[in-house]
Chain A
Amino acid sequence: MALVSAEVLPLTTSDHIVIVRQAVRQRAVDLGFSLVDQTKIVTAASELARNAIQHGGGGRATIEAVTDGLRRGLRLTFEDDGPGIADIELAMRDGYSSAGGLGLGLSGSKRLSNEFSIASSNGKGTRVIITRWK
């Protein structure tokens, strides 16, 4: 996978969720994503940005345009410096929530992406990477 461009945005307040959504939308439009694909990646970004702020106490989002052979895609990385997730398998389950939400953030954003990976360790924060190909 080759990197074409990258942009890093802060995630500290809920206003940043809107800024990330708008930046992801713009990149998806630039890459020629269909309207449904744009909506999916923007929605996934919104969920993961909110997770990083609410559960991780803030962090950053990296938006990257990538290529793999002839494929073009958008890779989004959400990192926080929060407490980390003790049980990732549990956190990935639909409907599991530690903060009174609906528990769809992680599982839902995985369904909205083509590739999904999550890494977390106690006390060292959480990193979620998703990719959606055009």
Chain B
Amino acid sequence: MERIPILKMGEFLLVSIQVDMHDRLALQLQDDLTERIAATSARGVLIDISSLEMVDSFIGRMLGNLAAMSRVLDAQTVVVGMRPAVAITLVELGMSLPGVRTALNVERGMDLLSSSADLQVPGREHGAGLR
């Protein structure tokens, strides 16, 4: 069965959606990602949607669900790489992805995740300047 790969990078998980999301694949990703968060104790999840040519209400809802599920499992989610045409369409559709943090690209998303991991665990050995 077709699956979206989930990569582990340190304490974060990286999901890059490279295929045209069909509904079953979206549901499979929810299952796989929550299991990986629990198994790896990941602190953050980065979801790269730069390959997605459209996001409809189903995919938008899935992104919101992923963010909510991750939060409950004590991991932050950042969605990165949304194409400008997708952003315009999504807002006109009536979805502004409430509860989903976004960043322009993978690099900025990683920065966001790193800094929120620092803020949450003040005692942790991380880069200076945030405490």
Contact = CB atoms under 8 A, between A and B. Distances in A.
Contact of B24 (A14, A38, A109): A14
A39 interface: yes
A105 B61 CA distance: 12
A112 B92 contact: yes
Nearest to B24: A14
Could you say which interface size class chain A belongs to?
Answer: 20 to 34
B39 interface: no
* Chain A interface helix/strand/loop/mixed: helix
Given A17-B22, A17-B23, A40 B57 contact: no
Interface residues of B, number: 23
Interface string A71-107: 0000000000000000000000010000001101101
B55 A43 contact: yes
Interface string B107-118: 000000000000
Contact of A101 (B20, B57, B83): B57
Nearest to B95: A104
B61 A102 contact: yes
Most-contacted residue by chain B among A15, A22, A39 (CB, 10 A): A39
B89 interface: yes
B20 A18 contact: yes
Interface string B79-116: 00001111011101111000000000000000000000
A119 to B, nearest CB: 22
Contact of B54 (A14, A43, A108): A43
A108 B20 contact: no
Given A107-B94, A111-B92, A25 B85 contact: no
A35 interface: yes
B86 A15 contact: no
Interface in A10-25: 14-15, 17-18, 21-22, 25
Contact of A21 (B20, B61, B90, B92): B20
Interface of B: 20, 22-24, 53-58, 60-61, 83-86, 88-90, 92-95
Interface of A: 14-15, 17-18, 21-22, 25, 35-36, 38-40, 42-43, 46-47, 50, 94, 101-102, 104-105, 107-109, 111-112
- Closest 8 A/B residue pairs (Cβ): A108-B93, A14-B23, A46-B56, A39-B85, A104-B57, A36-B85, A39-B89, A104-B94
